[in-house]
Amino acid sequence: MNGDQDLTGQPNGVQPIAAAATAAGRVRELNEDAVLSASPVFAVADGMGGHAAGEVASALALEQLAAFAAEPDMRPEALLAAIEAANRAILLCAEQRPETRGMGTTVSGVCLGEVGGSAHWFVFNVGDSRVYRFAAGHLTQVTTDHSEVEELISAGQISSEQARTHPRRNVVTRSLGTDPAPTPDIWVLPATPSDTFLVCSDGLPLEVDDDEIAEVLALRLPPQDAADRLLSMALAAGGRDNVSVVVVCLPQTDELQPVDVSTAPRRRALGLEG
Ligand code: MG
């Protein structure tokens, strides 16, 4: 611990502002999604498994990330360890409670941490929930879906429009709750005050296309208003799946100066392997 860090371990005490919204939708009885807004970690998990086991898996995953959010160690390696812990927690629970056997969950999100003495976002993903970044008027999907339809799109066999209605659009190729543990994707992006991140489950892009999402984020509404509006749009368009959104941005200030590197925590390992 040192004087340049606040209690959440964020450089210069920069606090993201964020808000979440989630709903079962208009077709499904249960909401097996879960959301986490525990600065500096923001995430969505979309659980799967019969008899309500999906909501056990998504809750377990975000519990582990909430515990990570309370730690001072905000490095990519520590984030990967937390995701691995989430995988183990799900497997252990499935062993102890046979009715939850086979459960799993996606997990996607952003975490504000530090690399080389300055603030960076770590974007992470396992499965087909998504992280979008809205910057300079443009929306980009940062994460790549781990799904069968994404593989078909990459192979040029179907279009993204066809993927939306494809019979196997729900089949994910990576999820938490598997042995061996899935490899999470992780991106490290410099933090700038102008970026807005949107973390969402697949129930949002199923109903709302990227242009419509971009229009809402361009309004620069307070995060709760943006999250509520995106959720309402997904419900109005059909709400065929559980829908979850977390909107995250940084305060519009000049405070994102590099911290004093002589006292900043060092990255103990440069490689991402534990
Ligand atoms: Mg879903």
Running DSSP on this structure, what letter comes out for residue 177? S
- Span 248-269, mean pLDDT? 52
113, containing H or E segment: strand 107-115
State percent of the chain over pLDDT 90.
Answer: 78
Q: For residues 51 and 223, which has the higher predicted lDDT (pLDDT)? A: 223
How far, in Å, from the CA of 159 to the mean position of ligand 1? 20
What is the model's pTM? Answer: 0.88
* All structural domains of the chain: 17-258 (3.60.40.10)
How far, in Å, from the CA of 109 to the mean position of ligand 1? 15
* Cα 31 from Cα 34, distance rounded (Å): 8
* Cα 90 from Cα 53, distance rounded (Å): 10
Residue with tokens 């984020």: 217
| Tokens linked to 221 | 């509404």
How far, in Å, from the CA of 24 to the mean position of ligand 1? 10
* Cα 61 from Cα 128, distance rounded (Å): 15
How far, in Å, from the CA of 45 to the mean position of ligand 1? 9
Q: Over the stretch 81-139, which tens digit does the pLDDT of each residue have?
A: 999 999 999 999 999 999 999 999 999 999 999 898 899 999 999 999 999 999 999 99
| Tokens linked to 128 | 């087909």
Q: Over the stretch 162-178, which tens digit does the pLDDT of each residue have?
A: 998 899 998 999 999 99
92, containing H or E segment: helix 76-96
How far, in Å, from the CA of 66 to the mean position of ligand 1? 21
> Rounded to 5 degrees, what are φ and ψ at 267?
-75, 115
- Using a CB cutoff of 5 Å, list residues around ligand 1, an ion: 46, 201-203, 241
What SS3 class is residue 205? helix
Residue with tokens 């390696």: 77
How far, in Å, from the CA of 262 to the mean position of ligand 1? 45
How far, in Å, from the CA of 169 to the mean position of ligand 1? 10
Q: Over the stretch 193-252, which tens digit does the pLDDT of each residue have?
A: 889 999 999 999 999 999 999 999 999 999 999 999 999 999 999 999 999 999 999 987
